[in-house]
Structure 1
Amino acid sequence: MSTPRTKAATATVAKPVVVHARSLHIGLNAVSPAHYGNWSGELAACEADATDMQAIAKTNGMKPTVLLTAKATRAAVLAAMRAAAKALKSGDLFFLTYSGHGGQVADVTGEEIDRKDETWCLWDGQLIDDELYMELSRFASGVRILVLSDSCHSGTVTRDTVPAPVVPGAPRPRMMPPAIALRTYRDHQAFYDGLQRDVAAEAGKAGTIDPDTALAQVAIDSSRLTTVVSTFGPSVILVSGCQDNQTSMDGEFNGAFTGRLLQVWNNGGFTGTYTQFRNAIVTGLPATQTPNLFVLGSAARFLTQRPFTV
């Protein structure tokens, strides 16, 4: 005769929530002269930056992808981001880092006051900021996204001042020279204008504000505020290497921003929040380079976490 099962025995045991994390680390010590008007943009420490960020990701239980120099093409970067967006669910983490030159193309969709769109200089073409933030918006609601960008991607320095000449042996700024930016855009204008219009059309169909504009407007440390994108699902923290009117510098072993970040992180010894992390990085850099902190989406809880927590 079988013994009746008790209520306790038949109760369903809740399964633990499994959090997944992926990361993508992009580092370019040069770009293809074929796309950039015979300019190769040599830098010294960007590949090392990407490798060091990969090490942090692996130590913290993430599944990393690394794209270095000639492997860091537009197609490869977009494919890796879209694969992560497809795989990750609410509560998961995507960690994205970029180390390389920042550039500019003319804004043809009218969302930029200065009529310039900022870019990441990938091997065979630039990734426009509008594209980047549209790709981030594809992630599921509740996904946490951390972006670290060690480059010059504001154009204020490019637009309003003449860059100092590069001294042999001295650190190079991670900024595409203005003349090269103009030449590259001129040679590929139809391509870059088309990318911007495609993003604008997609944003219009989705009924959302342009994600690049929205990111700037909800910046914690920026004067550009007003609107929040209510339909933006993931929680994004972006820490950039410098302010809009400054220059991120290359280095012998790491970029100035990445090198200071590694010092503060101290092989996992840092135990503060993201905001405290950024502030500690700032204290070790010269006044000419002050990392910026932006958020997009519902990132208040995300900001209180220890950096790189899966």
Structure 2
Amino acid sequence: MATGRAIHIGLNAVSSDHYSGWSGELTACEFDANDMELLAEAQGFETSKLLTSDATRQNFESAMEEASGSLVDGDFCLITYSGHGGVLPDLNADEDDGQDETWCLFDGQLVDDELYNLLAQFRSGVRVAVLSDSCHSGTVLKDQMLAEESPSLSEVRTGSLLGSARAARVRWASHFAYRAMPSPVAARVYMANKREYDKILTNKELGGAQERVVASCLLISGCQDNQLSGDGTFNGVFTARLKSVWNGGKFKGDYRSFVKTIVHGMPADQTPNLFAVGTETTAFASQSPFVV
């Protein structure tokens, strides 16, 4: 029988010591982590949770190493992140836009290449789903989009997916906070911690980590790389919509149709996406979501 392990991260603030006086207060990220833990538990996952000050780089890396060391062929690891997204300069030339996307953990940013490196520790045959409700999250795992089935940003902008959902999109207010580190803060944080980050950003082994991923990995992102994810009162906009579509486990369909349905009710300026990296991702994407 397959084993499911879930790691849930939610940060309503970050350490101002590391982030140059910026604490990045948010409202709903811990709610997101708690609610996704409830979803995972209902699906039979063994869960762990890192909230705000516990969501450090070391604690997350340790949780990932524990999961990758214990899961074998056929097992499932679910990782959910709610918090700020950030950017750092791309110093190993693996980004088309010249920037590495990050998760803003409590005591420092986790670069997307570092996440790849942690995913590369999972064995072949393990399924890994990563849900990222943060800004600039469209390709935190950036390999190939399941474009033949997944809606694209251009489809949404031209209205081919709007239809009867247009009214639902309009109902979303545009006055919520966003889960993005402001650009001036991002520059300050990088300059204040340049030596530390440059060791990561110039690490050639990390730059090639995605090529070493042998597990089947899917990312469902809260938005595109050039978009912002909205915070909320009780959940982030993406997590709230995901929960509504999931409907307590009543959703019928695979990961592709799951993302399509989520997109159908999102604000027009926030477009979740489905990306894949690793092996046998097409078969994984054809499965029902969150089934161990």
- The two structures share one fold, judged by TM-score above 0.5: yes
Q: Aligned partners of 1:201, 1:280: CA distance in 2, in Å?
A: 37
* CA contact 2:120–2:209 (8 Å) conserved in 1: no
2:3 is matched with which residue?
Answer: 20
Q: Aligned partners of 2:284, 2:277: CA distance in 1, in Å?
A: 11
Select the structure with the greater relative contact order (CA < 8 A; seq sep ≥ 6). Answer: 2
Q: TM-score, structure 2 length as denominator? A: 0.85
2:251 is matched with which residue?
Answer: 270
Residue 99 to residue 210, structure 1, CA distance change in 2 (3 Å):
same
1:60 is aligned to 2:43: yes
1:308 is aligned to 2:290: yes
Which one of the candidate residues 260, 269, 274 is aligned to 1:279? 260
1:235 is matched with which residue?
Answer: 216
* CA contact 2:138–2:223 (8 Å) conserved in 1: no
Per the TM alignment, residue 304 of structure 1 is displaced from its structure 2 partner at its CA by: 1.1
Residue 82 to residue 293, structure 1, CA distance change in 2 (3 Å):
same
* CA contact 1:111–1:210 (8 Å) conserved in 2: no
Q: Aligned partners of 2:138, 2:259: CA distance in 1, in Å?
A: 22
| Secondary structure class of the residue paired with 2:13 | coil
Per the TM alignment, residue 107 of structure 1 is displaced from its structure 2 partner at its CA by: 1.6
Per the TM alignment, residue 292 of structure 1 is displaced from its structure 2 partner at its CA by: 1.1
* CA contact 2:113–2:206 (8 Å) conserved in 1: no
2:20 is matched with which residue?
Answer: 37
* CA contact 2:138–2:272 (8 Å) conserved in 1: no
Residue 51 to residue 70, structure 1, CA distance change in 2 (3 Å):
same
Q: Aligned partners of 2:41, 2:111: CA distance in 1, in Å?
A: 28
Q: Aligned partners of 2:60, 2:224: CA distance in 1, in Å?
A: 25
Give the greater-gyration-radius structure (CA): 1
| Secondary structure class of the residue paired with 1:95 | strand
1:172 is matched with which residue?
Answer: 177
Which one of the candidate residues 182, 191, 195 is aligned to 1:190? 195
* CA contact 2:138–2:273 (8 Å) conserved in 1: no
1:254 is matched with which residue?
Answer: 235
Per the TM alignment, residue 29 of structure 1 is displaced from its structure 2 partner at its CA by: 0.4
2:119 is matched with which residue?
Answer: 136
* CA contact 1:241–1:292 (8 Å) conserved in 2: yes
Per the TM alignment, residue 155 of structure 1 is displaced from its structure 2 partner at its CA by: 9.8
Unaligned runs of 5+ in 2: 140-173
Unaligned runs of 5+ in 1: 1-17, 157-168, 204-208, 212-228
Residue 116 to residue 86, structure 1, CA distance change in 2 (3 Å):
same
Aligned AA (2:109): Q
Share of identical aligned residues, percent?
A: 51
| Secondary structure class of the residue paired with 1:296 | strand
* CA contact 2:5–2:78 (8 Å) conserved in 1: yes
Q: TM-score, structure 1 length as denominator? A: 0.80
Aligned AA (1:259): A
Q: Aligned partners of 1:114, 1:307: CA distance in 2, in Å?
A: 31
Q: Aligned partners of 1:301, 1:114: CA distance in 2, in Å?
A: 30
Per the TM alignment, residue 245 of structure 1 is displaced from its structure 2 partner at its CA by: 2.0
